[in-house]
Amino acid sequence: MDYLCLVPEIPLDDKIQASETLEQGGGPAATATYAAAKLGARTMFAGVVGDDSRGQSILEGLAREGVDTSAMKIRLDAASPVAFCWIQESTGKRSIAWSHGSVKPLLPEELNMALVRDSALLLLDGHQTAAAIRAAKLARETGTVVLLDAGTLVDGIDELLALSDIIIASEKFSLRYTGESDPEAGARKLFGNNTRFAAVTAGVRGSYGFDGGKSYFQDIFPVQVVDTTGAGDVFHGAFAYKYVNGGNWRECMRFAAAVSALKCTKFGGRTGIPTLAEVEIFLQENKGK
């Protein structure tokens, strides 16, 4: 659950009045799933929440957008995951402090593996790592595409990377993991033996991809930025949606960049996520980008 404050400046050892506040579901894979659902995909999310009010709000937020939450596990007497976000009004840049809460991670045996076999794509964010690795292994066996949102250096990340068909990493992750400050070089290094496509998202500098033979670059779309919270998460969800609907790598990158840009025009990680019709109009208006 995200608690967001829009502020003139992000204070340090000081107080400041918030211009606007918002409570909204968050989290990398969860927001990506929410975005894919809003675009029209049939989606399900598996994870854990506590039996507190935050957990109930998380479940309700996903369900309102049509995300199937029947695979979610509710831990008794546990606090749900939470993030506190400060967004600077003038730039849309943000600082985030987050916690897993006190919920125990999803266990591999708690995940219904039939869901993996029956899905076109499995999107993982590196959290719930043991369950994620088991699911990715099954996906490999059954032909379900694995897309990894590589944003955090967690234990087991090497195995998750090796099991992923598509890797989309943040620039910070790429730098820490590969040692490459250049996003294109980072994408090339992230591309492994079993990878179909690797990419690095670099904020205002766009995104860089590599398919084993060819490099790709997608610039950002010009919009009035209000809040960048969730931009990367939404990029992953939109990329997944376009891929399962037949998009090639260039089309997937452009589509994801457009959806992510539109998201940034409103306050909150999910508020500005567009419908498919809105994205198509936006892309028509920005031909050549």
For the stretch 78-92, pLDDT in tens is: 999 999 999 999 999
Residue 216 lies in a domain: yes
Res 143: pLDDT? 96
Q: What is the DSSP letter of 97?
A: E
Please write the tens of the pLDDT for every residue from 28-47: 999 999 999 999 999 999 99
Q: CA torsion 186→189→193→194, rounded to 10°?
A: -10
The count of domains in the chain is 1
CB atoms within 10 A of CB 225: 17
Please write the tens of the pLDDT for every residue from 182-198: 999 999 999 999 999 99
* pLDDT band per the 50, 70, 90 thresholds, residue 99: very high
Residue 148 lies in a domain: yes
CA 257 to chain centre: 13
Residue 213 lies in a domain: yes
* pLDDT band per the 50, 70, 90 thresholds, residue 244: very high
> Cα–Cα distance between 239 and 32 in angstroms, integer?
9
Backbone torsion region of residue 220, taken as left when φ is above 0, otherwise alpha when ψ lies between -120 and 50, otherwise beta: beta
* pLDDT band per the 50, 70, 90 thresholds, residue 289: confident
Is 90 exceeded by the pLDDT of residue 201?
yes
Region 271-278 average pLDDT: 98
> Cα–Cα distance between 119 and 42 in angstroms, integer?
10
> Cα–Cα distance between 177 and 186 in angstroms, integer?
9
As a whole-number percent, the residues of the chain with pLDDT over 70 amount to 100
* pLDDT band per the 50, 70, 90 thresholds, residue 111: very high
Region 6-29 average pLDDT: 96
Is 90 exceeded by the pLDDT of residue 200?
yes
Residue 155 lies in a domain: yes
Is 90 exceeded by the pLDDT of residue 288?
no
Res 65: pLDDT? 97
Residue 2 lies in a domain: no
* pLDDT band per the 50, 70, 90 thresholds, residue 64: very high
Domain that holds residue 264: 28-79+104-285
CATH of residue 220's domain is 3.40.1190.20
Is 90 exceeded by the pLDDT of residue 159?
yes
* pLDDT band per the 50, 70, 90 thresholds, residue 214: very high
273, 25 contact by CB (below 8 A): no
Residue 84 lies in a domain: no
72, 59 contact by CB (below 8 A): yes
Residue 127 lies in a domain: yes
Residue 98 lies in a domain: no
Model pTM? 0.96
Please write the tens of the pLDDT for every residue from 144-154: 999 999 999 99
